Structure 1
């Protein structure tokens, strides 16, 4: 079987990169501080968790089997999940700075 080219490895690599940036953000943000979390902290963590879920599922969706060679539905779904994941992670970063 030939190795995938084009959108499949690009989406997988990009989602892994943004996922790791999000993990660095959570470590820097202070997820492990001993103080009690406020409601704003829960909102930030919720958006980050949503983003991690979307970004973590991108490689699984984009590499799912398809019926025909011309069917690009999984790639389109993975692109939307990638966009939602990136938006959610950056929204969490922005909210952590604002709130």
Structure 2
């Protein structure tokens, strides 16, 4: 069995880049079966596009993270509010035990 790396036309490998995106590019940076001057160019474009997509995904992820942080903060605020009400005796008896 020959490894894809050395195989003449199965040379395309999955190269996972930093954010685990598996992008299909050949080792020489050209599309499958493509010959000629623009062969390398198309591969490089694909790589660049992959990087941009990765940046966008990271931005979206950081936005989600900030949103989660705000949500946690709001939750803490609600918890403090409940504490204050409990101290004031607004919630009494079984309600306080249940909270």
What TM-score do the two structures reach when normalised by structure 1?
Answer: 0.40
Q: Which has the higher strand share?
A: 2
Q: Which has the higher helix share?
A: 1
Higher relative contact order (CA 8 A, sep 6+): 1
